[in-house]
Amino acid sequence: LAMEEYDGHRQRLEFLSGQRDDLEGARGSILKAVQKINDTARERFLEVFEKIQTNFEEVFVQLFGGGETELRLHEAEDVLDAGIEIIARPPGKRPQSITMLSGGERSLIAIALLFAVFKIRPSPFCVLDEVDAALDEANVVRFAHLINDYSASTQFLIITHNKRAMEKADLLYGVTME
């Protein structure tokens, strides 16, 4: 019986050792794939980040009628884990973090960043809900012009209460509540 039991345990050991080797090989393959994906993601992120930065500066100047802006990556071991800081200097102001700007200026900066991304990869459809709520009259007109510039490649659905924004629309639907 000892020989039979030994053979059974030996076969079980060989089976489990084979399974362990397969798992270790799969783990190594997965780690290599993850490393390759991370390397590709880092490379593409930096390429797209530079393009967005360039486009952001252009759209910012278009919306604000001048000024300067910059996107900065926070120092981190890996760019995929780094935060992004937006530094903006609207005309007549000194460079500062966007947290120090008015609500309307922050809205315009967010719109500029969105459209900077659209320049790289236009979306066929975009829904904007009350993005112009914090904007004054002059900035609403600039926003409307920006929408018109991009409407050739993107269809916009804008939810707004602003009369100036509604005046620039090609088609207007009204929704009321009782």
SS (H, E, C) 92-115: CCCCEEHHHCCHHHHHHHHHHHHH
Residue 103: count other Cβ atoms within 10 Å of its Cβ. Answer: 10
Which sign, positive or negative, has the C-alpha torsion 102, 108, 114, 117? negative
Q: What is the pLDDT along the chain (178 residues), one digit of tens a residue?
A: 888 899 999 999 999 999 999 999 999 999 999 999 999 999 999 999 999 999 999 999 999 888 888 888 888 788 888 888 888 888 888 766 777 888 888 899 999 999 999 889 888 999 999 998 888 888 888 898 899 888 888 899 999 888 888 888 888 888 877 7
